[in-house]
Structure 1
Amino acid sequence: MTARAAGAAVVGLGSNLGDRVAQLHEAFAALDALPHTRVRRTSRLYRSPAWGVADQPDFLNAAVLLETALPPRELLDELLAIEREAGRDRSAEAVRWGPRVLDLDILLYGDRRIDEPGLRVPHPHLHERAFALVPLLEVWPEATIPGRGRAREALDALGAMAPIEVEALG
């Protein structure tokens, strides 16, 4: 780390095309190689049905707790570069919530709330997505979603409304 103050951030990872396990493990390594950033914890991999567009392969999801001195926008730029390197297509022609080789999202950046073009933290749908909350809580059990409350309570509320279809692998 440099003289810049480091803070905690959680990145959610997902993949449902190609060798999903290898892609997620390569993404873990790429995140740990980012400047001014270290991976502190990685979750297990979780299988879950696709969200948004249901007619596609199941996703593998994970979360990584980072210690980073990168400002949120710089971290996002690095995540987008990792996605591109993996073959992700974010062009206008790509289907929103469609199949993807790799998806990296900033779920949390400490206790910050950010609402800028192209960057919303906490992730705006985090509180309603078990596939993101389950691995998040594995890497940061006491996580709080700014403006929403404890992540554990958000997951419990989802379980009360509908079955949670997230399966840990290994």
Structure 2
Amino acid sequence: MTRVYIGLGSNIEEPLAQITQALAELAQLPDTQWLAQSRLYRSKAIGPVQPDYINAVALLDTRLTPLALLDALQALEQHHRRVRLEHWGPRTLDLDILLFGDQVIASERLTVPHPFLTQRSFVLYPLADISPALVLPDGTSLQQHLNACAPEGLQVLGD
């Protein structure tokens, strides 16, 4: 099985409920075992003016291939009525493969590690909740990237 980190985000149509439901649905993916999830975070949107996001990261083990997992995640997004009209626009649900084991993938459909993983506090801090000692495929540590990325505009929910 391959250890996989999935980033989740939602900012419209009851974002907290969207994320909570999506986390439960990830646990039901075929050939996949649920391991952990981060705390929930509120973050400011990137791009056009829009509501804040609710974000989280899930940790899974899977036997799915990277593209089969991508297809499964996109099917979940569609189930949540995801519309892809505007780059960085509002979303009912956004599911991103952040890391797929130690693989580096650069294809037309999928880039892993996620290209903005090391630049976004709403990804780095939830990752640290689950795996604070994580080392990325390029050999850099999660802690190095946390030190360079302030948690501005990031709020832990429920604290």
Alpha-carbon offset, residue 132 of structure 1: 0.7
User: SS of the residue aligned with 2:144?
Assistant: helix
Q: Paired residue for 2:153?
A: 165
Deviations 1:99-136 (A, max 9, x none): 00000000011111000011000000111000111111
Q: Which runs of 5+ in 2 are unaligned?
A: none
Alpha-carbon offset, residue 144 of structure 1: 2.1
Q: Paired residue for 1:80?
A: 74
Q: Which amino acid letter does the alignment assign opposite residue 14 of structure 1?
A: G
Question: Could you tell which deviates more after superposition, 8-17 or 43-52?
Answer: 43-52
Q: Which amino acid letter does the alignment assign opposite residue 25 of structure 1?
A: T
Deviations 1:39-98 (A, max 9, x none): 100111100100133x100000000000111111110000000000000012xxx11011
Which of 26, 40, 43 is matched with 1:45 structurally?
40
User: SS of the residue aligned with 1:88?
Assistant: coil
Question: Could you tell which deviates more after superposition, 147-156 or 64-73?
Answer: 147-156
Q: Paired residue for 1:154?
A: 145
**Number of aligned positions between the proteins:** 158
Which of 113, 125, 135 is matched with 2:116 structurally?
125
User: SS of the residue aligned with 1:65?
Assistant: strand
Q: Which amino acid letter does the alignment assign opposite residue 104 of structure 1?
A: L
Is 1:104 equivalent to 2:95 in the alignment? yes
Q: Paired residue for 1:34?
A: 29
Is 1:61 equivalent to 2:52 in the alignment? no
Deviations 1:138-170 (A, max 9, x none): 1122222222611121111112xxx62211001
Q: Do the aligned residues in 2 keep the contact of 1:65 with 1:140 (CA within 8 Å)? A: no
Q: Do the aligned residues in 2 keep the contact of 1:106 with 1:123 (CA within 8 Å)? A: yes
User: SS of the residue aligned with 1:30?
Assistant: helix
RMSD: 1.1
Q: Do the aligned residues in 2 keep the contact of 1:111 with 1:144 (CA within 8 Å)? A: no
Identical pairs, percent = 45
With normalisation by structure 2, the TM-score equals 0.95
Paired with 1:12 and 1:152, the residues of 2 have a C-alpha distance of: 18
Q: Which amino acid letter does the alignment assign opposite residue 32 of structure 1?
A: A
Paired with 2:126 and 2:132, the residues of 1 have a C-alpha distance of: 9
Q: Paired residue for 2:8?
A: 13
Q: Which runs of 5+ in 1 are unaligned?
A: 1-5
Which of 136, 141, 158 is matched with 2:132 structurally?
141
